[in-house]
């Protein structure tokens, strides 16, 4: 029961992550191109992107480590899962790439905060969000993939 609930929340939260990421990217690119000051709105949207990504990671780790009936419980099970594309994707590829995306987003926000110049702040945030979003988009189990999942999972 809790597995299904967390899985649905994890599935739907991806849309918030993508929307906040897109908003942060657009604001950062505009700020960079227009050389405008870094505003409180920029800070809030960037923080919302990273915060939603952190929440998504925590839910994903909860699914992976605690709740999932498919999690590998030993190195032998992990080795056995490698030849099977769907199991390999969820056991290794999805979680690894999403952790990398979260790290990229955190590094971008941290580097943007430390930039003295607003244009540099926007540039650092824009590039970091762009890279994080590309990694995220590559690691989502889109329905057209062999291991795909529905775009909108229902309870």
Question: In this predicted structure, what is the pLDDT of residue 138?
Answer: 96
Q: How far, in Å, CA of 94 to CA of 137, rounded? A: 11
Tell how far CA 59 is from the center of its chain. Answer: 11
Cα 139 to chain centroid, rounded: 9
Quick one: pLDDT at residue 74?
A: 64
pLDDT digits (tens, 9 = 90+) for 3-43: 999 999 999 999 999 999 999 999 999 999 999 999 999 99
Quote the pTM value: 0.91
Give the pLDDT score at 72: 63
15-43: burial string, b at 16+ Cβ within 10 Å, e else:
ebbbebbebbbebbbebbeeeeebeeebe
Question: Which residue has tokens 């929307």?
Answer: 19
Give the SS3 label for residue 150: coil
Residues of the chain with pLDDT under 50: none
Listed in sequence order, the DSSP H helices in 1-155 are 2-34, 40-61, 75-81, 85-88, 94-114, 118-139
């Amino acid at each position: 029961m809790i597995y299904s609930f967390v899985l649905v929340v994890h599935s739907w939260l991806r849309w918030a992550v993508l929307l906040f990421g897109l908003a942060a990217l657009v604001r950062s690119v505009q700020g960079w191109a227009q050389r405008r000051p870094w505003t409180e709105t920029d800070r809030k949207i960037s923080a919302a992107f990273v915060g939603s990504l952190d929440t998504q990671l925590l839910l994903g780790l909860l699914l992976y480590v605690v709740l999932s009936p498919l999690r590998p419980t030993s190195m032998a099970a992990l080795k056995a899962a490698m030849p099977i594309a769907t199991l390999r994707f969820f056991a290794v590829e999805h979680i690894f790439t999403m952790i990398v995306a979260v790290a990229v987003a955190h590094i971008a926000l941290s580097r943007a905060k430390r930039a003295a110049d607003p244009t540099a702040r926007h540039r650092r945030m824009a590039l970091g969000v762009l890279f994080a979003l590309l990694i995220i988009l590559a690691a989502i189990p889109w329905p057209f993939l062999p291991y795909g999942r529905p775009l909108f999972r229902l309870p």
